[in-house]
A = this chain, B = another copy of it.
Amino acid sequence: MSAGGAAVAARIEPSARREHILAAAEACFVRNGFHRTTMQDLAREAAMSPGNFYRYFASKEDLVLGLAEGERARGARLVAELERDGDRRAALLGIVTRYFVSITRETAILRIDIWSEATRNPAIAAMTARGEAEARSWFVETFGVLARSPACDPVALYALLGPLMKGIVVDRALLPDYDPAASVAQLLALLEAGLDGRLPLAPTSSAEPSR
C-alpha cells in the first residue's frame, strides 16, 4: 500500500472521519452559506471522493444537523470541562466568556445560519430546542447556586441574559467594531448585579396587559 492519501484515509476511524468532514463542512458553509455549497464542494474540501463522502453524510441536511449537534455538544463539553474543578462561579464566567462573547466571527456566523435553518427544518429545530433547554436549565441552576440574595430570581435572570447572549452572537457576526472585552465586561456586570438581586427584572410568570 502506498503512503498516499488513500492509505492515510484508510487508517482513520469512522468517528474521526466524521469530525474531519464536519470541520471541512463548517469551513465551507461559513465561507459560502449552506445553500451555495454543493455536496461536491464539501467532498473536495474534505479531500474525499464524492462516493466515499456520501457513505458518511447522505445530504447537506445531515451535515447541518451534525454541525448543530456539534455546537450543542461543544457547549456541554465546555461546561463539563469548566465544572471539573468544582468552582461553579469560574465555570459560569468561563461559559459566558468562551461560548458567547469571545468567539470567532466564523462561529457566530455558523450559529446564525443554524438558527435560520432551525426555523424551517424540524430536525434542526429539535436539536436547537434541546440545546436551548439544556442551556436554560444549567444557567438557572447555576444562578440559583451562586445567588447572594433572596431577591435574585434565577429564572428571570436567565430571561434577560439568554437573549442578551444571543444578541451578542449577532453583533459578533455583524459589527466590524465588535469589542469582546466590552461585551464581557457588560455581561459580567449584569450577572453580578443579578446575583446580588440588584437588577430590575420583570417577573417571569407574567400576566402583563401590554401584549
Contacts and interface: CB of A to CB of B under 8 A. Distances in A.
A159 B186 contact: yes
B211 A181 contact: yes
A92 B152 CA distance: 28
A189 B193 CA distance: 14
Interface residues of A, number: 62
Given A159-B186, A210-B184, A170 B167 contact: yes
B162 A181 contact: no
Interface in A173-201: 173-176, 179-186, 189-190, 192-193, 198-201
Contact of A189 (B132, B171, B202, B211): B202
Contacts of A211: 102, 180-181, 184
Contact of A208 (B32, B105, B185, B203): B185
5 contacts: A33-B117, A119-B173, A163-B167, A182-B206, A193-B200
